[in-house]
Structure formats: structure tokens, C-alpha cells
Structure 1
Amino acid sequence: MNEENTVKIHKWLLPFAALYGTGVRLRNRLFDWEILSSENFPVPVISVGNITVGGTGKTPHTEYLIHLLSPKYKIAILSRGYKRKTKGFRIADDRSTSIEIGDEPFQMKRKFPNVVVAVDANRRRGINKLLELYPDIEVILLDDAFQHRYVTPSTSILLTDFNRLIYEDKLLPAGRLREPISGKNRASIVIVTKCPKGIKPIDFRIITKHLQLFPYQRLYFSTFAYGEIIPLFNGPERTLDSLSCHHNVLIVSGIASPETFEQKIKATCTHARSIAFGDHHNFTAKDIAYIKTISEKENEAPVIIVTEKDAARLIHQKDIDERLRKSIYYLPLKVQFLQGQGIEFDHHIFDTVMKNSRNYIPRTTEK
């Protein structure tokens, strides 16, 4: 399993990782001993996060929860708004940009315009502000908040990438772990994300064994299902299959782990080339000029395919000329659970929300 995705560890940095781990363990102990306080809230709070640096699929899994819960409940999403240019608490509206609220919150607000989306690096303050402004909120989803221990969630979902499982990794800076693997014990749910659809039963058993979860924790496996490409601006409608013989497909990404995204497109567009920028890359006029130069090297009109997150940053980019606008598409994705686990996961989330709601009355057995 995962022979082609060997986890790279910088062994010469392990002494620094040990020092880093000491500091993180001390911080966690202070919360465990209640020297640092964590606040409970009167509504269900569901946290989605990880203990690694890099993409594990937090936004798609948060969007899965939005799809699941929004038909029945008034929900709000709270994110820190990573790399935004603003500070403090901010509510997203139809005029917000990714620069103001961050690309993930912008993407969610764009896809779910009727859902309350807010950003605040201080999650405790952000939740209190949300409940003050929207007293009818019934569920709050915290995006990327596993390490934010000043909030006690009703349930905490920990994600780990199939291609870089937490038990194969090391602490920063030698590896990508933000905290020791023992941090997984705080999770109510662990999801192994980005699994190949052809994953073998033995892989499920090996991963389950190595994660060493407790009886109170539930383990799920998920994968990404991609939709059809969508014009970001005013390009003609297309499908990936229609590009199978197209010789000028350019894949552009600015995410932590673009491999799955690139593989999906190259499986159909065998001639596709790719450009990968850093995670959360803010595209500049120079980047746009570079993309245009590369895409125009072939005689055929270009088709440029980006991720949903990159689309959130590019949609307000003023340096894209009209010709290039007609060439840019994004590839949407959604989460699918493997082994038929989706129904069980959904029931568990609904049960958690019900039992942590304001008006929940536990059933009693009459004698």
C-alpha cells in the first residue's frame, strides 16, 4: 500500500521536531488540566480539521456537511479565513471577495448563498458573535479548527490523507504533523480521505489497525468524485470527454496536494500539461501572463482547467483578458464515502446534532 507515495521525512530535523513536540504537548496538557479554558456552546458545534500541514480535504468535507444539514437546520460556517487581507470577525455577503474572507469561505458562500458564512481567527469570539447576530442558528460548522482548543465541539472530525497517513508522518519540521499523533484521541470521528476507489479490503484492515482508535471513535473512508468542468467566466460549455483529443489542455493549481486533481484530468486528456503553484497561491499579473504564454504555445485554442479553490481566487483577477477568460474552466468535486458508509455517517451526524440541540429532551424509560 502507498509504495508510490512514500512519505518524505527530513531526518536531520528530528531534534527540532522533538523540541516542537514538547511545546505542543505542554499546550495540550494545559487544556487537559483546565488551566487553559475551553468553552461549550448551547448549539451543536461540529469541527472539521486535521493535525497535518497540507490539504486533506477539509473544505469538501465541510461542504458535504452543508449539503447534509442545510435542508433541515439553520446552519452557519465559521472559518479563520486563511490568507485573507482583513482582520477580526467578518460576515460574508454577495459582495465579499476571497481577498476579504479567504478562498475557502468565499467558495462556500458562492456555492451556498443562503448559508451564513463568517470568518474569525478567534473561533470562540466568532461563535459568540454569530449567536448574537443570528439567534436562530441551530448548527455551527468549524472549518479547520482541530487545534483551536478554546472551543469544545459537540463532535470533532479529524481528516487524514490516504497518501500521507498520520501514523506514517513525523512532527514539524521533520514531517508535516502539527501535533503528536496522540492528538487524534480528541476526535469523535476519523476519516481517511482521498482513498482510491479501487482500494483493497486489506488496506482497510491495515489502516484500521495502525490508527489504533478507541471504542468511542468512528472510522470512515472517503474519496473524491469529480463533476464536469464548468466555465469560470464566459467560455463555451464543455465536458472532459470532449477534450480527450484536445492537445492544448493546461492544468493550473495552487493547492497543497494537486496530484489527485491532475490525475483525474490526465486520465482523459492524455496530452494535458500542468503548472503547480504553492498552496493558497494568490495569482498576480505576472502569473497570469505566464499562464497565457504557456497556454498559447500550441496552435490549438487553449483550455485551462483549475481547481474550485483556485477559481475562487481567479474570479476577481483583473489581469485576465477576454480571450483568456473564455479558456478557463474549473473542476468541481464532492465527497463520497466508501464501503457504503455514507448512510451510517449521515445518521451519526444527525444524531449528534439532535442530542446537542437546545431543545433536546433525553428519552426516559418508565418503570
Structure 2
Amino acid sequence: MNVLRKILFPFAILYGFITTIRNFLFDKGILKSTSFDVPVIAVGNLSVGGTGKTPQIEYLIRLLSDNYRIATLSRGYKRKSEGFVLADTTSNADILGDEPFQFYQKFTNIQVAVDANRTNGITQLLSQAIKPEIILLDDAYQHRKVKAGFYILLTAFGDLYADDFMLPTGNLRESRSGAERANIVVVTKCPKNLSDEKQEEIRLKLKLNCSQQIYFTFIDYDNTVYGQDEKIDVKDIKSEAKILLAGIAKPKPFFDFLKNEKDECLTFPDHHHFSDNDLNEIQNKAQDKKIITTEKDYVRLKDTEITSKLFFLPIKSTFINHHKNFDSTILEYVKGNSFNQKTEQ
């Protein structure tokens, strides 16, 4: 913890008090939450960024989309549009935001929408001629104006919420007690060989109640990097001198997976909009080298002047164990819920 964050400790106490009061008012029904009689699954975290929400949403899409009409609803962070937008063939990362646009390009059989007002966003989705049968709320754990039917809380192995503190001293958006709303807690970005003993240690540290389930996942990297008209085996690209580029919250694992001593790593802020100056800098550093980036960055960069040498490395969330239990819990929730009516609580 740096000195400035320590100095701001009183503000963290104040922020924690405000968020606790807000949650209390929602819990008691003094502030109203809208619930929908369609399965709504919220995926989010207690901390700011970097827990792996995108691969977890994609896991749910793969699990559910063969049998149900799926819609994802995101805020569309740093998009240049406003209000409710339903993705179509004219959409791009500027209109939707990078992660929703990634969903839209990757999964052709789902609806992808953005709206900062999640209540309005769900209402708009359910007013479409073809209504979704399941709505996945991306990064909406603190969006209490919608009462989701099922909550999945993510926490990163190297940055557990139990070890963190409130903003601005730490990275928590709300107090650790917010974890009590979760039906499932997923510890993400674990080592592949995480032992049963370590899993139990984390389970005890998080102090979950008896009704909550916990799972452990790791980031699984693809064996191939993909460009506009070419794909290359990862084992070949690892040995080649290249530029590694990332504008994500925690890029170190991405860099570590691909880099060798000849590589240069370029880091930009999360959800960064690349300017002409940025692109010129990247171009000058790359020269005749290939540029490997994350899938999220690729959707923002693929139609720029560096497209011809640009490749991305896909990732997915993989369960260390008990993935069938996770799948069956989600499927049972979905099957047990009715559709398309709205109530206020």
C-alpha cells in the first residue's frame, strides 16, 4: 500500500460507511430493486477490475446458448454512445465498448446490449420481437436497482477480497460483507495445480455461509494467435522477436505467457482508446515485428494502421475441478424460473 493510499484511509472509512448504508437500504426494501421473471445472472466482483469477468461471461454463454436465447447486458465502459444500444452489423467498439463488442463478434447466436441503466436495459431487451430467455449481467454486482435471480462473485487468487480494503486505500467497491449476496464465489486466475489444501485454506478465509458454493478457475490460453488473415502456433510465436501490447487491468500473466528476452512489452490503461500518437508509437517500435495483443484490445485495434501485423491470443476460464457441479447449479436455476414479467420489491 503506497503512502498516498494510507493518507486517504479516512476517506475509505467514509466510503465504506456510505456503501454499507446503501446496501442496508436495498436489503430492507427502502430503496427499490426491480426483479424480472426471466433468469437474470449477474457476474461481478467487489474490487475494481482484473478478476476475469469477460472469460466467465463467455463460459456461461457457451454453457447456455445452445439451448436458450441469451442476451448479455453491460454498461459499455468508455463507449462513445449513450443510453440503450442493441448490437447490430453497424456496431463497433466505440459504440458498444470493447468487451460487449468482443461478445458480439465472437458469439453470433446471442443478443448483446449496453445500457448504464440496467433496469431500462432489461426492459428494452424484453420488449424486442425476439425476447431473450436468459440475461447475463456483466459487471453488475453493485447495481442494486436490479435484483438478479443469481449472483456469481469473482475474486482473483492473488488479490482476494478478504485481503483487501475499501477504496481509495484498497480496491474494494463495497465492504467484504457484500459477498453475502453471492450464490457462487469463483476464485479466478489460480495456478493450474492449486492443491486441495490451498483451496480449503481460501474457502475458510472467505468465510462463506453454508448455502454458498465456491469454485476455483485458471486462465487457459489458446494454442494459437490469430490475425486478420493468418494464424500462428503459440510455440512458434513465443520464440520470435515481437511486440506484446496490452490495455487491460493486470497484463503481467499475458506478458509472462508469451514473452522472451527479445520482446518489448507495451502497457496501456484498461479500456484504453488508442490515439493516432499511440498508433504511431506502436508502429515505430514494431517496425517489421508482429504485434501480439489481448482479444479485448484487438477489437479496438483491428481496423487501424497496424492491422496487418496485429494478432491476438484468446483465453478462457477453466475450472480446476467440479465444473459439472457448477454447470448443474446454473442449469437448475435457469430451469426453475419463469419468464417475462416485472415486479418491484
TM-score category, normalised to shorter length: over 0.9
Aligned to 1:362: none
Q: How many residues align?
A: 339
Q: Is the 8 A contact 1:94 1:113 kept in 2?
A: no
Equivalent in the alignment of 2:66: 71
Instruction: Choose which of 227, 230, 235 in structure 2 pairs with 1:241.
Output: 235
- The alignment status of 1:284 with 2:284, answered yes or no, reads no
Corresponding residue of 2:334: 353
Going from structure 1 to structure 2, the CA distance change for 1:211 and 1:95 (only over 3 Å counts) comes to same
Cα drift, residue 8 of structure 1: 6.6
User: 2 CA distance for matches of 1:244 and 1:97?
Assistant: 30
State the Cα distance separating 1:237 from its structure 2 match: 2.8
Counterpart of 1:100?
A: 95
Q: 2:81 aligns with which of 71, 80, 86?
A: 86
1:329 aligned partner, one-letter code:
F
For residue 252 of structure 2, what is the aligned residue in structure 1? 259
Amino acid of the structure 1 residue aligned with 2:231: E
Q: Which amino acid aligns with 1:311?
A: Y
Query: Structure 1's 36 and 50: CA in aligned 2 closer, same or farther, altered over 3 A?
Result: same
**1:330-361 CA distance string (max 9 Å, x none):** 0001110012x1111111100010011349xx
Give how far 1:134 is off: 4.1
Q: Secondary structure at the match of 1:326?
A: helix
Could you say if the C-alpha distance between residues 325 and 312 of structure 1 is closer, same or farther in structure 2, counting changes exceeding 3 Å?
A: closer
Q: Deviations over 1:157-196 (max 9, x none)?
A: 0000111110111100001000000000001110000101
Query: How does the TM-score come out when normalised to structure 2?
Result: 0.94
| Cα RMSD, aligned residues only | 1.6
Equivalent of residue 215 in structure 2, options 220, 225, 230: 220
| Structure with larger RCO (C-alpha < 8 A, sep 6+) | 2
Q: Distance in 1 between matches of 2:127 and 2:193?
A: 47
1:130 aligns with 2:125: yes
The offset of 1:232, in angstroms, is 3.3
- Per the alignment, residue 315 of structure 1 pairs with 302
- Is 1:171 the counterpart of 2:162 in the alignment? no
Distance change in 2, residues 1:86/1:204 (3 Å)? same
Distance in structure 2 (CA, Å) of the matches to 1:45 and 1:271: 47
Structure richer in strand, relative to its length: 2
Matches within 5 A, 1:287-366: 287-296=278-287, 301-317=288-304, 320=305, 324-339=306-321, 341-358=322-339
For residues 275 and 224 of structure 2, the distance between their equivalents in structure 1, rounded to whole angstroms, comes to 24
Select between 126-135 and 249-258 the one with higher mean Cα deviation.
126-135
Shift of 1:202: 2.5
Contact kept, 8 Å, 1:244 with 1:270, in 2: the verdict is no
* Alpha-carbon distance change, 251 to 31 in structure 1, aligned in 2, over 3 angstroms: same
Offset at 1:242? 1.2
Q: 1:272: how far off? A: 2.4
Unaligned runs of 5+ in 2: 341-345
Give % identity.
Answer: 44
* 3-state SS of paired residue (1:63): helix
Inter-partner Cα distance in structure 1 for 2:48 and 2:339: 35
Match of 2:136 among 112, 135, 141: 141
Paired residues of 1:131 and 1:137 also in contact (CA < 8 A): yes
Contact 2:93 2:300 in 1 (8 A): yes
Give how far 1:142 is off: 0.4
List runs of 5+ in structure 1 lacking aligned partners. 1-6, 360-367
Task: Give the superposition deviation at 1:35.
Answer: 1.1
CA distance in 1, matches of 2:226, 2:28: 52
- The alpha-carbon distance between structure 1 residues 265 and 244, as it changes in their structure 2 partners (threshold 3 A), is closer
Contact 2:225 2:234 in 1 (8 A): no
Q: Which amino acid aligns with 1:113?
A: T
CA distance in structure 1 between the partners assigned to 2:310 and 2:273 by the alignment: 16
Query: Is 1:157 aligned with 2:152?
Result: yes
Q: Is contact 1:8-1:175 (8 Å) kept?
A: no
Counterpart position of 2:227: 232
Contact in 1 for aligned 2:87/2:111 (Cα 8 Å): yes
Structure number with bigger Rg: 1
SS of corresponding position for 1:275: strand
Q: Distance in 2 between matches of 1:152 and 1:53?
A: 21
